[in-house]
């Protein structure tokens, strides 16, 4: 294909562009794109809204930036360009003004891709499940060529020119329990033993209110240009190290501030701290882990009632646990300085585990 493109570019730039359009949609079909992914990718390629009215009259519509548009009960009024889908309704481009030179070809290939989706029985499948791991890894790779990364983003239904965040998730359940996580990501896949979730545009609201399943921890990286998603991925991995299932299941890198610098310390250096050895010894006592969890919740919330809410316990039970841990470890938890020492020690303990 690359050799053909080089020869065509020397003879006819328009022919080269046409071949690229065909290859673009062929790649979508090859990777088993859903109806939503086809429409999103078309809108990004054509740089105008695109849509597909399904067999039951409902529609899928996306803007060029990858954000979903209001669903219609059929075709939009007088769409500038449309094409029939074999077995699955009609696709269209919502370009205002004069059509672009390649619009007829884009629309034709979109219809062909949509027909293939229908034959595969995927017309109603949301792109919320695991994506092709190779594509996600390519987006997050430090070595990938920019062109390859852009292509992978588009195949995942993401807009290369729009910022995204990456979430790193540990302990992702399977089946219906993973729905809260799935709603946040247009694409997710396991990378180096951790689930990476790519979050963009309309998924921002879902990520802001993310409440993971019990036992699942999430680190969310800062916003980055989609083409530099690895930066957000690295931040997400750092944030994940600060997360605890009961007291802090979701940690955002942006909220860590200078605390993120603690993650730069080698785990061996952290484990050598005498205070950590004392905390670990206490954790091995009967009920020690539960006491430390109560102490961590107390340090985070600043009150016994707040800690009780986090742990779903009565505040008197939390008070007993916090007092027991504070006395054994020599911390006066009524003193702000000792509370700070306790919080730092518990934070270093989490970081030392990775």
pLDDT tens digits, one per residue of 290-332: 888 888 888 887 788 888 877 778 888 888 998 898 888 888 8
Res. 234: pLDDT tops 90: yes
Q: Does domain 267-352 have CATH number 1.10.10.2840?
A: yes
Q: Which residue has the tokens 């779903």?
A: 312
Q: Which two tokens stand for residue 185?
A: 């990501």
* CA dist., res. 126 & res. 166, Å (int): 19
Plot region of 66 (φ>0 → left; ψ -120 to 50 → alpha; else → beta): left
Residue 272 has pLDDT above 50, yes or no: yes
Residue whose pair of structure tokens reads 């190290």 in the numeric block: 241
Cβ atoms 19, 8 nearer than 8 A: yes
Q: How far apart are CA 281 and CA 304, in angstroms?
A: 24
Residue labelled with tokens 């007993």: 320
Which distant-in-sequence residues (6+ apart) come within 8 Å of 123 by Cβ?
34, 35, 54, 55, 88, 114, 117
Q: State the pLDDT confidence band at 15, using cuts at 50, 70 and 90.
A: low
> Which whole number is the average pLDDT over 247-265?
87
| DSSP strand pairing (250-252 vs 217-220) | parallel
Q: What gap in Å lies between CA 343 and CA 337, rounded to an integer?
A: 10
pTM of the model: 0.58
Do the beta carbons of residue 156 and residue 188 sit within 8 Å?
no
Is the CB of residue 292 less than 8 Å from the CB of residue 283? Answer: yes
Give the tens place of pLDDT for each residue, 75-101.
Answer: 666 566 888 888 768 888 988 878 888
CA angle, residues 59, 61, 66, in degrees to nearest 5: 155
For residues 28-33, give the mean pLDDT: 70
pLDDT per residue over 121-138, tens digit each?
644 444 444 456 778 888
What is residue 335's three-state secondary structure?
A: coil
Hey, where are the domains in the chain?
2-119, 133-262, 267-352
**Do 210 and 249 touch, CB atoms closer than 8 A?**
no
Tokens of 8: 């065509």
Query: Residue 254 burial by CB count (10 A; 0-12/13-18/19+): exposed, middle or buried?
Result: middle
Q: Does the pLDDT value for residue 109 go beyond 70? A: yes
Contacts of residue 293, defined as CB under 8 A and 6 or more positions apart, other chains included, come to 244, 246, 247, 311
pLDDT per position as a tens digit, 139-196: 998 888 888 888 888 777 777 878 888 999 887 544 433 444 544 445 777 887 888 8
Q: How far is CA 234 from the centre of its chain?
A: 13
3-state secondary structure of 164: strand
């Amino acid at each position: 294909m690359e050799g053909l493109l080089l020869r065509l570019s020397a003879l006819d730039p328009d022919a080269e562009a046409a071949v690229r359009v065909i290859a673009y949609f062929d790649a979508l079909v090859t990777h088993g794109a859903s109806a939503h992914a086809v429409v999103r990718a078309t809108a990004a390629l054509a740089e105008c809204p695109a849509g597909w009215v399904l067999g039951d009259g409902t529609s899928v519509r996306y803007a060029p930036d990858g954000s979903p548009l209001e669903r219609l009960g059929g075709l939009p009024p007088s769409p500038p360009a449309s094409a029939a889908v074999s077995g699955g309704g009609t696709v269209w481009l919502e370009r205002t003004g004069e059509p672009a030179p390649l619009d007829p070809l884009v629309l034709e290939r979109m219809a062909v891709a949509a027909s293939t989706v229908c034959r595969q029985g995927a017309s109603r499948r949301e792109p919320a499940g695991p994506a092709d791991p190779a594509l996600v890894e390519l987006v997050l790779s430090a070595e990938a060529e920019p062109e390859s990364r852009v292509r992978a983003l588009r195949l995942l239904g993401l807009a290369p020119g729009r910022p995204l965040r990456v979430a790193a998730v540990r302990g992702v359940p399977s089946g219906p329990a993973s729905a809260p996580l799935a709603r946040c990501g247009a694409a997710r896949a396991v990378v180096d033993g951790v689930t990476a979730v790519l979050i963009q545009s309309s998924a921002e609201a879902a990520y802001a209110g993310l409440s993971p399943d019990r036992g699942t921890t999430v680190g969310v990286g800062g916003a980055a240009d989609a083409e530099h998603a690895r930066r957000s991925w690295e931040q997400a991995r750092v944030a994940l190290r600060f997360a605890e299932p009961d007291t802090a299941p979701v940690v955002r890198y942006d909220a860590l501030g200078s605390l993120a610098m603690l993650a730069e310390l080698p785990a061996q250096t952290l484990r050598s701290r005498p205070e950590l050895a004392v905390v670990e010894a206490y954790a091995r006592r009967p009920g020690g882990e539960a006491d430390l969890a109560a102490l961590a919740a107390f340090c985070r919330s600043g009150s016994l009632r707040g800690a009780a809410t986090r742990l779903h316990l009565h505040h008197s039970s939390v008070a007993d646990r916090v007092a027991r841990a504070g006395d054994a470890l020599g911390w006066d938890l009524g003193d702000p300085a000792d509370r700070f020492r306790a919080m730092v020690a518990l934070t270093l303990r989490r970081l030392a585990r990775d």
